[in-house]
């Protein structure tokens, strides 16, 4: 209770407690005596003279000069920090943008490949524009009634130089045209004719081009990719020639060879590029027009010969019949060989061959789990962060001659201000 005495004397006690304490003070002589001593002591302490204060004018002068210096120092310090902050910010932006830039470079390369692909396609489209057909470029369609080939051939021009035999049979003259039509009708009517040779609908008139594409793509899952490519081939009216998937310790490889109509070649290549990261891409074209025209002309020639022998056979008597029949068999054999050759050539021009090579670190056998994928992703992320931090550190260290003086000057100014 006595501890309250000083606060009572100093007026720091609230009114309720003051009344109670005053009552107690009146009843307790020793406490009253103590209070008197405290009052005296306090009064003495309050009369202490500290001496005349000095230094106010000096302080005001210091404040005047200090304000100016401080303002300039503050400004300099602020500028130094602003510059340092800007530098660090710029470095951070560079460090962050660097991987993005690298990715964009890769994307640009890919875009370039796509553009190349588009150019190829457009050139193919331009080649596919209607042009004057050649004798050997007869549009053949299957006749629904007869079930045999019906050829609709016209001899308007012969832009491609053919062999002498072709020239003899398919000259762009009126008589030649008539003769060619006759030969074609004989060819259609021939009982030994093979199934019709269906010409490519978009084959450039007069030009036969065989296209091939090779692509190597890095993918995540081989089996899924092979299924995807099979789907692509089917959707583009193509077919799989061969498919091979092999597993290795460090991943796997799949090779898919498929053929699609030449009109869909560019689309197929584009879709293949979208299956993963393109490692290599190669397009090639081979002009087989000359060979096709040559063989077609020979085929018509043999057909003509066959017709002539048939006429002779009708008129022949005795042993001549056997001789002519043997000769006819030989002619027909040659004719069939040329028909097959022409069909093959036209197929090569109609369908393009694409060889897709897929490589992967994962064979896609289903062994991979979400945990493995997560671990792989997290490890990749960690290494990426480490790489970014490393890049930042390198940038900061390399550029230290630029920012370090500012920081040192700033620190000196700051320490002076504090001092």
Contact 251, 360 (CB under 8 A): yes
Contact flag: residue 60 with another protein (CB under 8 A): yes
Nearer to another protein, 314 or 418 (CB): 418
Per-residue b or e along 266-279, where b marks 16 or more CB atoms closer than 10 Å to that residue's CB? bbbbebbbebbebe
Nearer to another protein, 27 or 58 (CB): 58
Give min distance, CB of 70 to another protein, in A.
Answer: 7
C-beta neighbour count of 306 within 10 angstroms: 22
Give min distance, CB of 62 to another protein, in A.
Answer: 6
Contact flag: residue 411 with another protein (CB under 8 A): no
Give min distance, CB of 9 to another protein, in A.
Answer: 9
Give min distance, CB of 34 to another protein, in A.
Answer: 7
CA distance 105 to 216: 19
Contact 133, 153 (CB under 8 A): yes
Contact 220, 360 (CB under 8 A): yes
CA distance 36 to 27: 15
- Pairing, β 139-142 against β 149-152: antiparallel
Phi-psi region of 258 (alpha: psi -120 to 50; beta: other; left: phi over 0): beta
Contact 151, 130 (CB under 8 A): no
List the one residue from 7, 154, 224, 330 that touches another protein (CB under 8 A).
7
Nearer to another protein, 53 or 401 (CB): 53
- x/- contact string, 212-251, with another protein (CB under 8 A)? ----------------------------------------
CA distance 99 to 81: 28
Size of the site for another protein (CB under 8 A): 37
> 216: which 2 tokens?
């190597």
For the segment 93-132, give every residue that binds another protein (CB under 8 A). Answer: none
Nearer to another protein, 317 or 418 (CB): 418
Give min distance, CB of 59 to another protein, in A.
Answer: 4
Q: How far is CA 101 from the centre of its chain?
A: 14
Q: How far is CA 286 from the centre of its chain?
A: 29
Contact flag: residue 65 with another protein (CB under 8 A): no
- x/- contact string, 13-52, with another protein (CB under 8 A)? ---------------------x--xx-xxxxxxxxxxxx-
Nearer to another protein, 40 or 178 (CB): 40
Contact residues toward another protein (CB under 8 A) are: 2-7, 10, 12, 34, 37-38, 40-51, 53-56, 58-60, 62-63, 66-67, 70-71, 417
């Amino acid at each position: 209770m006595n501890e309250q005495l000083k606060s009572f004397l100093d007026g720091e006690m609230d009114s309720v407690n003051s009344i109670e304490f005053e009552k107690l003070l009146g009843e307790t002589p020793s406490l009253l005596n103590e209070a008197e001593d405290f009052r005296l002591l306090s009064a003495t302490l309050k009369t202490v003279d500290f001496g005349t204060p000095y230094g106010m004018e000096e302080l005001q002068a210091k404040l005047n000069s200090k304000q100016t210096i401080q303002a300039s120092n503050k400004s300099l310090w602020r500028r130094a920090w602003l510059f340092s902050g800007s530098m660090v910010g710029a470095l951070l932006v560079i460090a962050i943008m660097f991987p993005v830039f690298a990715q964009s470079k890769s994307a640009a390369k890919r875009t370039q490949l796509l553009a190349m692909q588009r150019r190829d396609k457009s050139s193919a489209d331009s080649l596919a524009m209607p042009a004057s057909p050649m004798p050997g470029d007869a549009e053949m369609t299957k006749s629904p009634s007869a079930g045999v080939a019906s050829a609709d051939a016209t001899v308007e021009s012969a832009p491609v130089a053919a062999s002498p035999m072709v020239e003899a049979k398919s000259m762009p003259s009126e008589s030649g045209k008539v003769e060619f039509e006759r030969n074609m009708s004989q060819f259609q009517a021939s009982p030994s004719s093979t199934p019709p040779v269906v010409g490519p609908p978009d084959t450039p008139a007069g030009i036969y081009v065989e296209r091939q594409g090779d692509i190597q793509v890095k993918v995540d899952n081989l089996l899924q990719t092979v299924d995807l490519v099979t789907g692509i081939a089917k959707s583009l009216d193509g077919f799989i020639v061969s498919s091979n998937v092999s597993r290795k310790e460090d991943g796997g490889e799949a090779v898919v060879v498929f053929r699609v109509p030449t009109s869909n070649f560019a689309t197929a290549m584009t879709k293949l590029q979208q299956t993963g990261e393109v490692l290599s891409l190669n397009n090639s074209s081979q002009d087989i027009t000359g060979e096709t025209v040559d063989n077609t002309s020979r085929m018509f020639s043999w057909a003509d010969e066959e017709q002539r022998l048939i006429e002779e056979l009708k008129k022949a008597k005795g042993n001549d019949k056997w001789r002519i029949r043997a000769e006819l068999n030989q002619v027909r054999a040659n004719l069939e060989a040329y028909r097959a050759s022409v069909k093959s050539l036209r197929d090569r021009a109609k369908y393009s061959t694409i060889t897709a090579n897929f490589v992967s670190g994962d064979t896609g056998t289903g062994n991979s789990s979400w945990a493995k994928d997560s671990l792989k992703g997290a490890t990749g992320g960690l290494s990426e962060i480490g790489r970014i931090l490393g890049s930042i550190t390198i940038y900061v260290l390399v550029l230290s001659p630029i920012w370090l003086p500012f920081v040192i000057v700033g620190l000196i100014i700051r320490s002076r201000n504090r001092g």
